[in-house]
Amino acid sequence: RAKELELAIVGVSFHVGSGCTDPETFVQ
């Protein structure tokens, strides 16, 4: 569970860092 949360945080940070704020990206 912790690993999934960690990956989610990294994924969000990656999208935000790349300036990709499109909600569609988070769905995928």
**The token pair that represents 15 in the structure block:** 């999208």
Residues 1-28 pLDDT 10s: 788 888 787 777 665 555 555 666 555 5
Q: Is the pTM of this model over 0.95?
A: no
The three-state DSSP-derived secondary structure of the chain is: CHHHHHHHHHHHHHHHHCCCCCHHHHHC
Q: Which residues contact 15 (CB under 8 A, 6 or more apart)?
A: 21, 25, 26
pLDDT the model gives residue 24: 63
